[in-house]
C-alpha cells in the first residue's frame, strides 16, 4: 500500500518518534523505499563568504548527525533508504522531494518543542498536509 515513504524532520527530539513510525510502517508494508529528508536553516548572505562557509559547514554537520540518529531509530527495512539533506524550510523540501520521489506516504513530526523554541514547526507540517497528494502522518 505504501511503497515509497518519506520521513521528514529538522529536529531530533521530535523526529525520533516519526523515524520509528516510518521504519515500522516500511517493515509492515514491505516498502520499496524510505527517503529521509532533513533540513537545516539557510545562512544569511550578508555574513561574508568565510562566515557563510563556516556556518553552512556547521549546520550541515548537525544535519548529518541528525540523519545518523534517525537511521538508528528507523532500523532495518526491506527496501532502500535514501537521504536528502537540504537547506531551507522543511515544508518546501518535503513538497519537492515527495513529488520527485513519488512518495505515497509522508511521516513527519508536528509538535512544537517548547515555547518559542521551534515556533514555526507546527506550521510546516500543516503546510505539507494541506498541499500534498498523498497521506501525511503527523506525529506529536
Tell me how many domains the chain contains: 1
Contact yes or no for 75/23 (Cβ under 8 A): yes
Q: What is the pLDDT of residue 101?
A: 94
* Average pLDDT of the residues of the chain: 86
Report the distance separating Cα 100 and Cα 86, nearest Å: 14
pLDDT at 119 over 90: no
pLDDT band for position 83 (cuts 50, 70, 90): very high
First to last CA, the chain: 24
Please report how the helices 49-74 and 12-29 are oriented relative to each other, as an axis angle in degrees rounded to 10: 40
Angle, alpha carbons 38-139-104 (nearest 5°): 65
Contact yes or no for 68/38 (Cβ under 8 A): no
Q: What is the pLDDT of residue 140?
A: 74
Model confidence pLDDT, tens digit, residues 23-61: 999 999 999 999 999 999 999 888 889 999 999 999 999
Q: Where in the sequence is the domain holding 32, given as residue range(s)?
A: 4-139
Structure pTM? 0.84
CATH number at residue 75: 3.40.50.620
Higher pLDDT, 115 or 64: 64
Element (H, E) at 21: helix 12-29
Amino acid at each position: 500500500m505504501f511503497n515509497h515513504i518519506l520521513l521528514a524532520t529538522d529536529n531530533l527530539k521530535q523526529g525520533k518518534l516519526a523515524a520509528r513510525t516510518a521504519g515500522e510502517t516500511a517493515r509492515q508494508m514491505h516498502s520499496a523505499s524510505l527517503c529521509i529528508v532533513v533540513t537545516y536553516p539557510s545562512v544569511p548572505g550578508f555574513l561574508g563568504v568565510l562566515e557563510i562557509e563556516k556556518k553552512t559547514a556547521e549546520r550541515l554537520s548537525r544535519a548529518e548527525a541528525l540523519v545518523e540518529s534517525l537511521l538508528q531509530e528507523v532500523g532495518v527495512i526491506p527496501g532502500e533508504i535514501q537521504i536528502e539533506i537540504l537547506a531551507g524550510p522543511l515544508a518546501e523540501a518535503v513538497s519537492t522531494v515527495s513529488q520527485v520521489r513519488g512518495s505515497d506516504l509522508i511521516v513527519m513530526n508536528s509538535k512544537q518543542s517548547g515555547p518559542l523554541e521551534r515556533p514555526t514547526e507546527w506550521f510546516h507540517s500543516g503546510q505539507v498536509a494541506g498541499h500534498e497528494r498523498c497521506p501525511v502522518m503527523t506525529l506529536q
